[in-house]
Each structure stands twice: as structure tokens, then as C-alpha cells.
Structure 1
Amino acid sequence: MGKVKDDATETRASKPSEKSARRSGKNQFFATLLSSGLYKPMQGWHARLWTGIAMAAVLLIGVTRLFATLDGTEIYVQFGICGVLAAAFAWLSFRMIHYPPFADFLIATQAEMNKVSWISRNDLKRATGVVLVTVLVISFYLFAIDNVWMVLLNQIGVLDVSAGTGQAIGSAG
């Protein structure tokens, strides 16, 4: 059995203050940003991979939009600015998935996803079919009810559908 730490024996002065904890967190982020080491590289690999792909997609969209915005400037300026920003943000994205608190979160996320019991492909097809049929039945039902109300309101003179606009009498248009 492991040892249990008794909280009563700790003194108040030995606990770090909230302010110093935030400061050390910022320092840890900048130290991680400038390092090239990998934090727990083989754990949470799929979660990190897909998070990195999502970050790269956002980066690609942003750089593409910036490149289009810089249209009219020299082409080497467009490529230079976009290239430098893409490289900087790519490095930041790479470092983010190796930042210890974020990497631990991704590792824990993948561990929880591995605990999920996923349904079989046949059950998924059946459930999808039920949803699609239900949506179609409800759509036809609402279409029929809408047409019944349209005819009824047209008969009593509240709705004028002869013009094909479907607007109420007295409304502008």
C-alpha cells in the first residue's frame, strides 16, 4: 500500500500561494515554448495527433486568408510574412501539445475515450435508419398540417395564396 500524506502536518507557509502558482505556470509555459523536448511522447498519441491536425487546419485557413488580404503587395512580401507567421504558429501549436498540463489533459481524454463502449456498425446503421425515417415522417406530417392550415386560412380570408407569395392580407409587400 502507498503512503497517505497527512494534510494536518503541513504548515500554511509551505503551501504555494495562488499568485506564485500562476507565475510559475507562466514561466513553465515559456520554458516549454523555447525547449525542443517532448513531454510523454508515446502517451495520448491519437488525441495529440488530431489536436495538432485541427490546429494546423486553423493555421492554414488563417494564413490563406492573410495571403489573400495582402493581395496587391509584392509577392515576396506576401510569402515572407505568411511564411514567418505560419512557422511561428506551427511551432507554437507543436509546443502546445507538449505543454505538460495540456498534454496531460489530452492523455486523460484519450484514456477516457478508450473506456467508451462503441456500438457495432450494424447497430449504427439501424439507428441511423430509424432517425432518417422518423425525420421524413415528421417532415411529411408537418407539410400536411401546414397545407391544411394554409387552405383553411385562405378559405376564411386571412391568408391570400392566390398571388403565390403566401403573405397575410394587409402586410406590406
Structure 2
Amino acid sequence: MATQNSAVSFLGALSQVSLYKRTQGRLVRQLTALTIAVIVLLGAGAFSSEVMRGVASSVAPFPTSAEELQTSSAPMIQGLLRYGVPTLLGLLGCWVAYRAVNYPRFADFLISVEAEINKVSWPSMGELKRGTIVVISVMFSLGITLTLYNSFWYWFFKVIGVLEDIGPSE
């Protein structure tokens, strides 16, 4: 019963325009809405180029002559199907993204996430540079070490006859 009520309240929240606690958690909420919108728009673009192209061409074939082009509504129907449906899906998805970050339960979660982010002590620029140098140095030294191990084992297995030299392919 609680799941049904929360689903109904989210659907009801989709029809509202008001902002929930508009001054709190703005950065996280804006970035979350932007991320959801970008994913939806990329999906709508892929839907337009992949799925709707096949659907549009199977609904009404392109006219073959100039007279058919003037009297036929096929290009208009194909254009509406190929670009109109994904555009509507993109707009609907952006609206859902906007409303999702203003849905009280999700908005309160995002507000608390931003509050926790603000509590974290972030490293200074000097600490960040030193840490980056350490990580890059360790990665290069591990790469060199693994290359040396690989060369040794290649030489060893070649000496004992497990590996054979394969000449250049013709």
C-alpha cells in the first residue's frame, strides 16, 4: 500500500510547477537534473537515429516522382515519426528530470548529500599535487616492473624450450 501511495504521489508531483526547498541543495540538485536530462536527450537522439529511422521508413515509403512528392504526405509523416516522437520523449524526460529533483523524498536526499559534501575536508592544492605525483610514480614503476618480469619470463621460457621463436610472417 505504501508503494502505491508513493507512486501516486510522484505522478501527482509531475503535474506541479513549484520548487521544493528551492534554496537548499541547489548544486547537487541542478547537477542531478542536468545529468538525468543529458542521459534522456542522448537516449532520444539514439532513438531517433536507430529505432525511428526503421519505423519511419516502414510506415510510408518515399515517393518516387515529383508528382507523388507534391501529393504524398509520406515525407511529413516520416519526419514527424523520426524527429517528432524523440523530441517529445526528450522534452518529457527533461520535465521528469526537473520534477524528480523537486520530489520531496528525492530532494531531501539530495539536500542531505550536499550537506555531507560540505562537511568533508578537501585536500589543499599542494596535497593534491603531491598525491598525484605519488600515484603517477607508482603506476610507472609498476609498469616498468611488470615489463621486466615479462621480459625475464619470456627469456626463461625461451631458454628451456617452452617457447619457440616464430619468424616474421609472410
Do both proteins adopt the same fold according to a TM-score greater than 0.5, normalized to the shorter chain?
yes
| Aligned-residue offset at 1:164 | 6.5
In the other structure, the counterpart of 1:61 is: 42
CA RMSD of aligned residues (A): 1.6
CA distance in 1 between partners of 2:49 and 2:114 (Å):
37
| Aligned-residue offset at 1:93 | 1.0
| Aligned-residue offset at 1:78 | 1.5
Quick one: which of 54, 79, 83 aligns to 1:79?
Answer: 83
Is 1:163 equivalent to 2:144 in the alignment? Answer: no
| Aligned-residue offset at 1:31 | 1.4
Bigger helix fraction? 2
SS for the counterpart of 2:23 is coil
Structure 2, unmatched stretches of 5+, are 57-77
Is 1:27 equivalent to 2:8 in the alignment? Answer: yes
Residues 112-127 of structure 1 mapped to structure 2, 5 A cutoff: 112-127=116-131
SS for the counterpart of 1:101 is helix
CA deviation string 1:82-124 (max 9, x = no partner): 1111111111111111110000000000000000000011110
User: CA 1:75–1:128 in structure 2 vs 1: closer, same or farther (change >3 Å)?
Assistant: same
SS for the counterpart of 2:20 is coil
In the other structure, the counterpart of 2:106 is: 102
CA distance in 1 between partners of 2:7 and 2:149 (Å):
60
CA distance in 2 between partners of 1:53 and 1:164 (Å):
54
TM-score, with length taken from structure 2: 0.80
Identity in percent: 32
Quick one: which of 110, 130, 136 aligns to 1:132?
Answer: 136
Quick one: which of 131, 154, 161 aligns to 1:150?
Answer: 154
Quick one: which of 21, 27, 52 aligns to 1:40?
Answer: 21
TM-score, with length taken from structure 1: 0.79
In the other structure, the counterpart of 1:168 is: none
Query: Which of structures 1 and 2 has the larger relative contact order (alpha carbons within 8 angstroms, sep 6+)?
Result: 2
